[in-house]
Chain A
Amino acid sequence: MEAIVLQILNGLDKGSAYALIALGLTLIFGTLGVVNFAHGALFMIGAFCAVTLSKILTLSHVVIDATKKDFLGNPLKVEVPYIYDFVGENAGNIIIDWAVPLSILFAIPIMVLIGFIMERGLIKHFYKRPHADQILVTFGLAIVMQEVIKYFYGANPIPTPAPEAFKGSLDFGAMLGFEANSIIYPYWRLVYFSFAAVIIGGVFAFLQFTTFGMVVRAGMADRETVGLLGINIDKRFTIMFGLAAAVAGLAGVMYTPINSPNYHMGMDFLVLSFVVVVVGGMGSLSGAVLAGFLLGILESFASMTAVLETLPGINQIIIYLVAIIVLLTRPRGLMGKAGVMEE
């Protein structure tokens, strides 16, 4: 029982990332009809927003500290972040410590801007082109984005820790009445899951309860009719692209403490997220979210020792295997609608 709860919890954080990326992919696909292979790169760029902010915050100048001596007896040179000069040492430390959550504020405008530029500058010209062309051009763009990041940040993962306050783990086992320490869950993963839930809830509420969202949903269902009503759907779709980019970016920002970001993390997540979208059903937002969590949890169950003993290697392939089975038995995915991308 403990093991099962633990695996579900373990699956939640990866599932959250899948769900967030798949949600953005589906938003773009559902609204613009574009298959965006560069969406994983947006996730990666979000993560590097966090890296960048923490680098900016720790930018330092050298000060000679006369009170300390090095082993030769000379005054010690210490690096002092500029931020100390502005807000003092204590506040500075707190800000540096909270770099990752602060990056959310930093990342939103950047991601929205990148989304706008991408849509207006490139994607817009591909609405009428075949899906193969869309896949290919966004694939090219994804390569470019990840290589640019690699050029500036190098190929190695860059550790970006969570704030001190979230470093510990929660003893879930004790809370649920099992033995102490039987289910240990790091605080940050809990934060990540809650964060994902808030974002997903926000996106759904936005689409459900605002006029803007209503038009977009109508456009997803039947673009031509909405166009006939004289509503400028294109402009709204540009905004949706920005929103999807922001969702992917934020997913990336918050994921940095779980896995140190590197330049190819976007591609790694993209392939799986696409599988998630297809399993959930192309064009179905709730399907994308559901499949994201489902596959995340399934993957974590497949990594249990007991499972691996009977089916070695299953953790590596479970998602693909499920995708193949789903596609062959339910061609439209779990919650897909008829007529979406069937030809």
Chain B
Amino acid sequence: MFGLRKSDSVLLLIVIALTVFAPFILNPFPENSVMAQFNAGYPDLMQRLVIFGIFAIGFNILFGLTGYLSFGHAAFLGVGSYAGVWMIKLLTLNVIPAIVVSVIVAGAFSLLVGWISLRRSGIYFSILTLAFAQMSYALAYSVLTPITGGETGLQPKVADPRILDAALEEGVTPRANLFGMFMNDSYEMVVGGWIFTFNVGYYIAAICMVFAFYLSIRIFRSPFGLMLRAVKSNQQRLNYTGIESKPYTLAAFVISGMYAGLAGGLLVAMDTQAGAERMFWTASGEVVLMTILGGAGTLIGPVLGAGFIKYFENIVSKINANILETWFSFMPDGISDLFVGLIYPFIGKGWHLTLGILFMLVVIFLPGGLVQGGQKIAGMFKNKKDGSDSATSSASAAPAE
């Protein structure tokens, strides 16, 4: 299907199904139940899940395939965001020019950064990308304030020119749309105690993510992808095999920069604003985290990692001491206090602490990320099954994988 081999087609179909039915899947609990706080099926969060999925898919094309660890990819997302907001201010509230220009501008910027940074490899490359990102961040906050809005960031105003649109009336908030469909429009479906929200912006972002995912499968399976994996494996052999690695790594860098730009453009389409904090190096660290957590170099890993982090960021940050107390209220007072006290540092504002610990655990014990973990668990079940009827099937089962 679509020029993919069978296993990849299945993977793509799974991703499509997950994104299409996300409003159901992410809202498994009735609205007024205690568990409703674990629902994630509201537009804002769903949008971010798929948008950061795009960001991580792109980052994985660089890091997962070539092994070049960029610590400055948030800069491309940030630059893309600014470009997107300017399109909304200057041209039209229709999101298409904003998204397209975000991708182009981020791609051009990553071409410049990549061209310079890729002259070095290893940790030097990481530091160079970090330096570029921090420079962009610092400039966005200071000198470039006329373009970036400095600390307040960039938002559309009623008085903006928007040469393709009819003028807005005074006092109307400019809302991003796609040919008249507003990004924050939603249709709510009430089924019993459940409310499922279908949001325009989410589905536009989801279409982009499915396309981005499809493209990444094609890249992984192409000769180009093979060369990128060869770069990671043995760059010297590649050079002596008649291939110059720089154009390949640069292309991978620019592609991942354009993915970051797409993510930035979509963020702008959803909330019509951009700020320098999107370029801070912790934001670059976050996308590294997502990719590693999910499984760098695997197709589905970055999507899982992005979903996992953004979901738990949202859910864990919302839990507070009161909620904790209701959870443990069935226990005797002293013991419940103990549990609340033990868990409290990790929830709410303690999300970053949880994230840091999780990150360390993954790097230490599961360098292949969630995908590897899943494979290990699957392998364990398989072994158990094999063990039970080993007499009959072990000989035939072995060569299957």
How far in angstroms is the closest Cβ of chain B from A207? Answer: 23
Contacts A131-B122, A324-B128 given; does A316 touch B356 at CB 8 Å: no
Closest to B136 in A: A317
Query: B36: CB under 8 A from chain A?
Result: no
How far in angstroms is the closest Cβ of chain B from A124? Answer: 12
How far in angstroms is the closest Cβ of chain A from B326? Answer: 22
Do B363 and A137 have beta carbons less than 8 Å apart? yes
Contacts A151-B345, A313-B138 given; does A282 touch B356 at CB 8 Å: no
**Cβ proximity bits B128-156 to A, threshold 8 Å, 1 near / 0 not:** 10111011001101111000000000000
A142–B132 Cα gap in the complex (Å)?
A: 22
Do B127 and A140 have beta carbons less than 8 Å apart? no
A261–B88 Cα gap in the complex (Å)?
A: 41
Give the number of residues in B that approach A within 8 Å (Cβ atoms). 40
Contact segment of A6-14, A71-79, A271-279: A271-279
Query: A59: CB under 8 A from chain B?
Result: no
When distances are taken between beta carbons in the complex, the residues of chain B under 8 Å from A275 are 127, 130-131
A342–B144 Cα gap in the complex (Å)?
A: 35
When distances are taken between beta carbons in the complex, the residues of chain A under 8 Å from B264 are none
When distances are taken between beta carbons in the complex, the residues of chain A under 8 Å from B144 are 313
How far in angstroms is the closest Cβ of chain B from A306? Answer: 16
Contact segment of B5-13, B94-102, B316-324, B347-355: B347-355
When distances are taken between beta carbons in the complex, the residues of chain A under 8 Å from B123 are 35, 131, 135, 278, 282, 341
When distances are taken between beta carbons in the complex, the residues of chain B under 8 Å from A313 are 138-139, 142-144
When distances are taken between beta carbons in the complex, the residues of chain A under 8 Å from B350 are 147, 151
**Cβ proximity bits A140-159 to B, threshold 8 Å, 1 near / 0 not:** 11111001100100000000
Query: A327: CB under 8 A from chain B?
Result: yes
Do B139 and A147 have beta carbons less than 8 Å apart? no
Query: B257: CB under 8 A from chain A?
Result: no
Contacts A135-B69, A147-B352, A324-B132 given; does A341 touch B285 at CB 8 Å: no
Contacts A151-B345, A317-B138, A317-B139 given; does A341 touch B131 at CB 8 Å: no
Do B353 and A144 have beta carbons less than 8 Å apart? yes
Closest to B143 in A: A313
Query: B37: CB under 8 A from chain A?
Result: no
Contacts between chains A and B (CB distance < 8 A), count: 110
Do B67 and A132 have beta carbons less than 8 Å apart? yes
Q: Of residues B120, B123, B130, B292, which shows the largest number of chain A Cβ atoms within 10 Å of its Cβ?
A: B123
Query: A328: CB under 8 A from chain B?
Result: yes
A141, A341, A343: the one contacting B360 at CB < 8 Å is A141
How far in angstroms is the closest Cβ of chain B from A53? Answer: 23
How far in angstroms is the closest Cβ of chain A from B327? Answer: 20
How far in angstroms is the closest Cβ of chain B from A329? Answer: 10
Do A148 and B353 have beta carbons less than 8 Å apart? yes
Do B353 and A274 have beta carbons less than 8 Å apart? no
How far in angstroms is the closest Cβ of chain B from A330? Answer: 11
Contacts A137-B360, A140-B360 given; does A331 touch B132 at CB 8 Å: no
**Cβ proximity bits A329-343 to B, threshold 8 Å, 1 near / 0 not:** 001000000000111
How far in angstroms is the closest Cβ of chain B from A180? Answer: 34
Q: Of residues A125, A131, A144, which shows the largest number of chain B Cβ atoms within 10 Å of its Cβ?
A: A144
How far in angstroms is the closest Cβ of chain A from B250? Answer: 15
Closest to B285 in A: A139
Query: A136: CB under 8 A from chain B?
Result: yes
A132–B367 Cα gap in the complex (Å)?
A: 11
Query: B364: CB under 8 A from chain A?
Result: yes
A317–B134 Cα gap in the complex (Å)?
A: 8
Closest to A136 in B: B363
24 A–B contact pairs at CB < 8 A? A125-B364, A131-B123, A136-B288, A136-B359, A136-B363, A137-B363, A139-B359, A140-B356, A140-B360, A140-B363, A141-B356, A143-B356, A147-B350, A147-B352, A147-B353, A282-B124, A313-B138, A313-B139, A313-B142, A313-B144, A316-B138, A317-B138, A323-B131, A327-B120
User: Which residues of B line the A interface, CB within 8 A?
Assistant: 67, 69, 116, 119-124, 126-128, 130-132, 134-135, 138-139, 141-144, 281-282, 285, 288, 292, 345, 350, 352-353, 355-357, 359-360, 363-364, 367
Given A140-B360, A275-B130, A317-B134, 9 other A-B contacts at CB below 8 A?
Answer: A122-B360, A136-B288, A136-B292, A136-B359, A278-B124, A323-B131, A324-B131, A341-B124, A342-B122
Which 6 pairs show the lowest CB-CB distances between chains A and B?
A: A313-B143, A143-B356, A316-B138, A147-B353, A140-B359, A140-B360
